[in-house]
Every structure is written in structure tokens, then in C-alpha cells.
């Protein structure tokens, strides 16, 4: 077992993990942060996306020990303390950017990373950025609308499209 320290959603955490433990397993099993989902375990679906030192990362693709001393952000840290959704979460709700919700934490975390790098992406740029995030409910259309809206861009009502 190896000792491990990192910051998760602004709070220092420690743990003791086997070398083979994945970051997503540490978050879910050791810290109880089950908002980060596992959809495939083969690095394809993006349900496990978190931020590590400000970069979007599939947390099933790195070992927990690789995040030693890192600043990790998960979906649990996105809303305000009182539960008020952040701009991206609110836009997903307003524009029906989710159906079953399984992919949603990864989508929101990827969208946050995209908007940090590119505050006003067009629909094609959003599609390209989300290539590593799969939605099995095929809700892509409204996900893209939600991210456009979250970036402050005009989104026509669905009925007008």
C-alpha cells in the first residue's frame, strides 16, 4: 500500500492505495465521490472525466498515485455549497441536455474544460471536443445546445429548428 495526498474539490485528502488503483476507483470507492461514473473502463466513454491540475482527464486512464499532490476537480465540486448549479449545469437542465444522466458528469466536466480554453466555441468545435464523451441516449443535439447557451451564445428554441 502507498500513501497518497491530493486536493479534491478544494479540500486536502489523503489515502492509502495499491499501486494498481485507478484514480476513478480512488474517487468513488475511497472518497465516496460517486458522481464520477464508470461507463466502459476502456477509455472510450468519457463518463469518468475529471479535471487534474485544470486539464480534463479520463480518470479511468490514470492511476491514483499519478495524481499525487494534484489539484483534482470532480462533478461534486461544480455546484455552489448551497446546491445552486453552475452555468453549465443549469444550461444542461434548461436545454434538456440529459436523458438518463449517466454521461452527464463527464459531459459537464469536459464542457467546463472546453469553455475555459475556448469561451465561445461554435457547434462544430463543441462536437469535436466531445468526441471522447459518449452518450448512449443519443442526446448530443441538446448537449451541444446547452454548451452553446452556457457560453452565452444565442440558442434558438427547439421548435424553431
Q: Is the dihedral of CA 39, 103, 83, 70 positive or negative?
A: positive
Please tell me whether residue 58 binds ligand FES under the rule CB under 6 A: yes
**What x/- string results for residues 90 through 129 when contact with ligand FES is judged by CB under 6 A?**
--------xxxxxxx-------------------------
- How many residues of this chain bind ligand FES (CB under 6 A)? 23
Neighbours of 98 (CB within 10 A): 21
Residues 134-153 that bind ligand FES (CB under 6 A): 135-137, 139
Of 70 and 146, CB closest to ligand FES = 146
Please tell me whether residue 88 binds ligand FES under the rule CB under 6 A: no
User: Radius of gyration (Cα) for the chain, nearest Å?
Assistant: 16
Burial of 150 (0-12, 13-18, 19+ CB in 10 A): buried
CB of 19 to ligand FES, least distance (A): 19
Of 59 and 151, CB closest to ligand FES = 59
61 phi, psi to nearest 5 deg: -105, 0
Q: Cβ(51)–Cβ(113) under 8 Å?
A: yes
CB of 103 to ligand FES, least distance (A): 3
Amino acid at each position: 500500500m502507498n500513501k497518497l495526498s491530493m486536493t479534491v474539490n478544494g479540500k486536502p485528502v489523503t489515502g492509502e492505495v495499491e499501486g494498481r488503483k485507478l484514480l476513478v476507483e480512488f474517487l468513488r470507492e475511497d472518497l465516496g465521490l460517486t458522481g464520477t461514473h464508470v461507463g466502459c473502463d476502456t477509455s472510450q466513454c468519457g463518463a469518468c472525466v475529471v479535471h487534474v491540475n485544470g486539464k480534463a482527464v479520463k480518470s479511468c486512464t490514470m492511476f491514483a498515485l499519478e495524481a499525487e499532490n494534484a489539484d483534482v476537480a470532480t462533478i461534486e465540486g461544480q455546484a455552489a455549497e448551497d446546491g445552486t448549479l453552475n452555468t453549465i449545469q443549469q444550461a444542461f437542465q434548461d436545454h434538456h441536455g440529459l436523458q438518463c444522466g449517466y454521461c452527464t458528469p463527464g459531459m459537464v466536466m469536459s464542457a467546463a474544460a472546453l469553455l475555459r480554453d475556448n469561451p465561445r466555441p461554435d457547434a462544430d468545435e463543441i462536437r469535436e471536443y466531445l468526441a471522447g464523451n459518449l452518450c448512449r441516449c443519443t442526446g448530443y443535439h441538446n448537449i451541444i445546445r446547452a454548451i452553446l447557451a452556457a457560453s452565452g451564445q444565442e440558442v434558438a428554441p427547439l421548435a424553431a429548428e
